[in-house]
Amino acid sequence: MLLGKKIPGIDESIRTDLPVLRSYNGRAAGHVSDLAFSRWLASPSSWMLVLISVAILFPGALAAQTHYTMFNALAALWKWLPLILMEGFFLNILISFLSMLIGTASGILLGLMQISLNTPARQSAFWITQLFRNSPWLVILFIVLLALPFDIDLGFTSIRIPDWTKAVFGLSLPVMANISEVVRGGVLSVPSGQWEAAESLAYSRHQTMWFIILPQCFKRMIPPWMNWYAILTMATPLVSLLGVEEIITISRQAMEAEDNHPELLIPFYGFALIIFFVYCYPIARMTLRLEKRFSVKL
């Protein structure tokens, strides 16, 4: 107060219709309550609303452009379903089983070579493992496709090599390298006291490995082994790029036979997604359960 007078804005409220500055906002710049758009963008309910709207409007937009409806696409999928399952997905499972079988057998041998006392064997196994562990699977498949012959001429007859056998060999190489690391890690996870106890009993290294170390680390290798089988199974559609008639190739051929309507994409590829999920998800859940059961208790 100055000489008994009140100062507007301090001692009394401002009485004016003129534009004035608002009071100072002490919040830091970029406060979350000021970011209305960002809060909407980060809201799960908003994104869910957008996805539901697209899922509802997309088939309708396609149906407005053509007389081929989503019901026709589902009917086409039902017609081709036996072929897709029995000749398509069955070949995916067969490729995954054979690739895992070959990759496991060779991976165990390669993993044991990595812990060998023989330096040349240990170093060669290490570099083979690193080569195939750090190479793209698709590149390996293409190299195998071009490197292996399409048929073997025996003079009096010619034996044709199917493309799916090349796919099995190509997929078994990265599996071999990863199983090699699983074996090496499993063996090294056994406490050193087990080696020392076996040595005190005059066991040879071979006896120690087969009768003491491997029986202990075998159960620890099962969860990562199952995990790699699930990964391998989900990678089998890559062989469709080599011309192997598995589920993706047959689905594509079926859509071409149905005049390549855009409505066919979601049912056919969506079914492939669902069938792989139904097959691999139980394996993943079992892997987690076994990992928890066989985990090392410290």
CATH number for the domain harbouring residue 133: 1.10.3720.10
Task: Evaluate whether residue 55 is within a structural domain.
Answer: no
The rounded Cα 97 to chain-centroid distance in angstroms is 17
Instruction: Please tell me which residue, 30 or 77, carries the higher pLDDT value.
Output: 77
Instruction: Please tell me which residue, 194 or 276, carries the higher pLDDT value.
Output: 276
Query: Residue 244: pLDDT above 90?
Result: no
The pLDDT, as a whole number, for residue 296 is 55
The pLDDT, as a whole number, for residue 132 is 93
The pLDDT, as a whole number, for residue 180 is 93
Query: Which single residue is written with the structure tokens 């498949």?
Result: 141
Instruction: Please tell me which residue, 52 or 119, carries the higher pLDDT value.
Output: 119
| Number of domains the chain contains | 1
The pLDDT, as a whole number, for residue 227 is 87
Q: Which range is least confidently modeled, 148-157, 195-204, 215-224? A: 148-157
Task: Evaluate whether residue 8 is within a structural domain.
Answer: no
Task: Evaluate whether residue 38 is within a structural domain.
Answer: no
Task: Evaluate whether residue 56 is within a structural domain.
Answer: no
Task: Evaluate whether residue 66 is within a structural domain.
Answer: no
Query: Which single residue is written with the structure tokens 């690739």?
Result: 99
Query: Residue 71: pLDDT above 60?
Result: yes
Domain extent at residue 142: 75-150+157-293
| pLDDT-derived band at 43, boundaries 50, 70, 90 | low
Query: Residue 40: pLDDT above 90?
Result: no
Instruction: Please tell me which residue, 56 or 76, carries the higher pLDDT value.
Output: 76
DSSP string, the chain: -BTTBPPBTTTB-----S--PPPP--SPTT-GGG-HHHHHHT-HHHHHHHHHHHHHHHHHHHHHH-S--HHHHHHHHHHHHHHIIIIIIHHHHHHHHHHHHHHHHHHHHHHHHHT-S-HHHHHHHHHHHHHHHTS-HHHHHHHHHHHS-SEEE-SS-EEE--HHHHHHHHHHHHHHHHHHHHHHHHHHTS-HHHHHHHHHTT--HHHHIIIIIHHHHHHHHHHHHHHHHHHHHHHGGGGGGGT--SHHHHHHHHHHHTTT-GGGHHHHHHHHHHHHHHHHHHHHHHHHHHHHHHPPP-
Q: What is this structure's pTM?
A: 0.72
Task: Evaluate whether residue 223 is within a structural domain.
Answer: yes
Query: Residue 16: pLDDT above 50?
Result: yes
The pLDDT, as a whole number, for residue 96 is 94
Query: Which single residue is written with the structure tokens 């969860």?
Result: 223
Report the distance separating Cα 132 and Cα 175, nearest Å: 8
Query: Residue 11: pLDDT above 50?
Result: yes
Q: What is the mean pLDDT of residues 156-180?
A: 89
Task: Evaluate whether residue 80 is within a structural domain.
Answer: yes
pLDDT in tens, 176-201: 999 999 999 888 888 888 888 888 88
What percentage of the chain reaches a pLDDT higher than 70? 76
Q: What is the mean pLDDT of residues 242-247?
A: 86
Q: Average pLDDT of the chain?
A: 79
Question: Hey, what amino acid is at 50?
Answer: V
Task: Evaluate whether residue 50 is within a structural domain.
Answer: no
Q: Which range is least confidently modeled, 14-23, 140-149, 239-248? A: 14-23
The pLDDT, as a whole number, for residue 272 is 92
